[in-house]
Structure formats: structure tokens, C-alpha cells
């Protein structure tokens, strides 16, 4: 019995250490206009200057959807300090994780959406806190 409990504890410890390596976005439901929701996801805090911006639309597709985001600055002194995403979707079941997190010149994240969602309107902003004199 003790061996089984110790193996289960070891399994939970391994799973926990894997989840600690990923940084989860803070999700907030900003507005509700049935049947759509305005959902904001944020990682990081400092928002002095936008270094990347994208807004787009996905039509309704009846499959699981995964959005991969990748950004790498050409200048190593320009670091990503905040990632902000906004979605207008018909379902609140969505999660976003980042393996790299903020604080580096390279940023990667993955957003998971639910099955059978309608169209998705999204906006992605990446920010830096460095001033132009810090970058030069």
C-alpha cells in the first residue's frame, strides 16, 4: 500500500513540475452580449510600447482549435514584457499557456478553444517596457 501511495505522489510531483514550467494567462470575461463573450487574457504587466499587433477573424469550424503564437525580436534588447489577447467568441471554454513566458526577446504561447465554436474575432498585442535609449 505504501509503495502505491509513493508512486502516486511521485506522479503528481512530476505533473506539477511540468505545469510549473508553463505560465498560464490571466483570463477575464470583460463583457457579455449573448451569445458572444468578450474575453481578455493577459500575461505580464508592463505596457509602455506595442512591439507587435494583430487582429483577425476565424470563421466557424467544427473542430478543436489551437492557436499557436510565436514572436522573436530581431533586436535582443527589445524584450516582451506583456502579452495581451482579446477574443470575441460564443464560448468561455478557452485556455492560454506560454512555455517561454515574458521577459525575453522570444515569446511563444498556445491558446486552446472548445469544440463547435462559432466565429472568433481576436486581437493580440505584445508590449515592451524598454525606452528607445535603453534599446540603442
Domain borders along the chain are 23-135
pLDDT average, residue stretch 62-72: 85
Interatomic CA distance for residues 112 and 122, integer angstroms? 13
Residue 124 burial (10 A CB sphere; 0-12, 13-18, 19+)? buried
Residue 26 is classified by DSSP as E
Per-residue pLDDT tens digits for 78-131 = 899 999 999 999 888 889 999 889 999 999 999 998 877 888 999 999 999 865
pLDDT of 106: 94
pTM comes to: 0.75
Alpha helices in 1-136 (DSSP H): 2-21, 132-135
How far out from the chain centre does Cα 73 lie?
A: 18
Per-residue pLDDT tens digits for 33-46 = 888 899 999 999 88
Amino acid at each position: 500500500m505504501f509503495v502505491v501511495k509513493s508512486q502516486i505522489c511521485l506522479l503528481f510531483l512530476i505533473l506539477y513540475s511540468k505545469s510549473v514550467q508553463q505560465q498560464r494567462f490571466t483570463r477575464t470575461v470583460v463583457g457579455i452580449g449573448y451569445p458572444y463573450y468578450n474575453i481578455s487574457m493577459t500575461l505580464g504587466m508592463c505596457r509602455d510600447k506595442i512591439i507587435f499587433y494583430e487582429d483577425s477573424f476565424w470563421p466557424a469550424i467544427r473542430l478543436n482549435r489551437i492557436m499557436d503564437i510565436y514572436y522573436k525580436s530581431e533586436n535582443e534588447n527589445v524584450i516582451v514584457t506583456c502579452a495581451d489577447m482579446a477574443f470575441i467568441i460564443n464560448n468561455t471554454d478557452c485556455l492560454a499557456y506560454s512555455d517561454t513566458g515574458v521577459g525575453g526577446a522570444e515569446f511563444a504561447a498556445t491558446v486552446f478553444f472548445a469544440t463547435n465554436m462559432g466565429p472568433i474575432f481576436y486581437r493580440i498585442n505584445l508590449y515592451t517596457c524598454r525606452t528607445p535609449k535603453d534599446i540603442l
